[in-house]
Amino acid sequence: MLAKNARMPGLIAQCTNAMRFPYHLALLICLAAIRSAIAQSPETAYESSGPVEAAMLVPAPWMTGAHHRVLPEAWHDGLQVTYGLMTETGEQPVLGTQALMIRIREIEAISELREMSKTKEFTKALAKAGRDKVGSAVDLVSDPLGTVKKLPQGASRFFGRIGESLKGGASKGETGTVASMLGMRTKKAELALKLGVSAYSSNQELQGELNKAARAMAAGAMMVEVAGLAVDGGASAALSVIGVNQTLHDTLVNSTPEDLQAADRKILLGLGVPVALAEEFVLNPWFSPWQEALIVEALNRIGVDPSVFLAVAKTVQTEEDARYFVQLARLYLKQHQDIAPLKSFQIERRILCALDAKDALVVAVSLDYGIWSARMAQRAEEFASLVTPNGPVKSVRLAVDGLLSERVSHELMQRGIVSSAFTLGTWH
């Protein structure tokens, strides 16, 4: 490392001059110079990406279950963490803490649904469904989001590397399916919420089990029989993890995708969003109808024109990006409710921000584990420079839903930036 250090000439000079002193004193001077050079070298100026203990970021109950195990060592890139998830089919990498928890919940839900399918009532109901030919139109979701592997995504795209061009397509999931299947779709949505999963999940294994259960319930299987199988202690626990209130729960269950989109448009127009922008957001195929409803509900509770927010959100092109904006909406809502009301959304340094009633610039970032990296330092300097005595920005706040290293917290504080970490649970 010293060989690459730009301070090497000065270091040599200091050690040469030290030779005029007694040996032990010269040695101390040289060691001090070396330590100073190392401390100021580019290689040690920042924290490095690398391995991290999964248990530091994942709640203990989620680390191990009957059908999964999270490997003890994960890998972080300074914002996001990639976990190793062991299941009955082998090891699979999962990008992001939220995505990991969603995947674990889906594994549990699949197991519960398969157990339910073994009951006599379930078998009889499925047989009746077959006789009624309900199954011919039961594929309510068919690869709703597609499978695209593109990087950067989420925090790495919208806070780290910005303006990346991502390409990919997706089908619209349930949108456009047979309207006559509303009864079955309602059963599926209700069951999914009770199990704490999304009816629009791209997990085809889960979709198959949910569709089978929806057929059985539409054919007469009692809802009470499946409600008791919900993971984590029943429907109320599932609701708390997903993060919806009872009113929104009922809306998600009883509304078709078209109904949800119409309601979203109405709310957004009422908040001052131009028609074309509202349409672009609502019709973005990477957001599921539930995700859009959750985002719009959060923005509606904030109550300011969200056009700037939506102008960025409409550009998402991956599942990870869609989840990222759900989390951003929730972070801004928490900031609005718990710290200070927001009065506007705006773009600063190409990053989506908000200004609150105290003229604090709020920068929300959905991340797993933030370290003091070159890009974090650059962002901190950029935002700190916006604070001026007579300017519109009086302070800067960083709102996150993950963990920040001690170094990050210290460096931000040194620059006058206050950080807040919110525990949000899991939304789909």
Least confident of 49-58, 366-375, 415-424: 415-424
Residue 116 has pLDDT above 70, yes or no: yes
Q: Specify the pLDDT at position 217.
A: 78
CA atoms of 397 and 130, how far apart (whole Å): 57
Residue positions counted in the chain: 428
Q: Write a three-state SS string for 43-101.
A: HHHCCCCEEEEHHHCCCHHHHEECCEEECCEEEECCCCEEEEEEECCEEEEEECHHHHH
Identify the bridge partners of residue 399 per DSSP, sorted by sequence position: 364, 420
- At residue 86, does pLDDT exceed 80? yes
At 288-346, the pLDDT tens digits run 999 999 999 999 999 999 999 999 999 999 989 999 999 999 999 999 999 999 999 99
The 10s digit of each residue's pLDDT in 179-190 is 335 678 888 888
Give phi and psi for 419, each to the nearest 5: -110, 140
Burial category of 23 from C-beta neighbours within 10 Å (exposed 0-12, middle 13-18, buried 19 and up): exposed
Alpha carbons 62 and 97: distance in angstroms, whole number? 11
Q: Tell which phi-psi region holds residue 425, choosing left (phi > 0), alpha (psi between -120 and 50) or beta.
A: left
* C-alpha distances out from residue 12 to 3, 6, 17, 27, 33, Å: 11, 12, 9, 13, 9
DSSP for 103-149 reads HHHHHHHHHHHHHHTTSHHHHHHHHHHHHTTGGGG----SSSS----
Indicate if the pLDDT at residue 247 is higher than 90: no
Among residues 269, 270, 295, the alpha carbon closest in space to that of 284 is found at 295
Q: How many CA atoms lie within 13 A of 269 on its CB side?
A: 11
- Average pLDDT for 164-176: 37
What pLDDT score does 39 carry? 44
pLDDT beyond 90 at 38: no
Rounded distance between C-alpha atoms, residue 196 and residue 10, angstroms: 61
Average pLDDT over residues 103-121: 86
d(CA 358, CA 416): 15
Give the span between the Cα atoms of 314 and 312, in whole angstroms. Answer: 5
State the pLDDT confidence band at 40, using cuts at 50, 70 and 90: very low
Tell me, what's the pLDDT at 163?
38
Domain segments of the chain as ranges: 2-45, 51-252, 255-421
- Would you state the pLDDT for residue 205? 92
pLDDT band (50, 70, 90) for residue 20: low
Tell me which of 425 and 138 has the higher pLDDT: 425
What average pLDDT is seen over the chain? 78
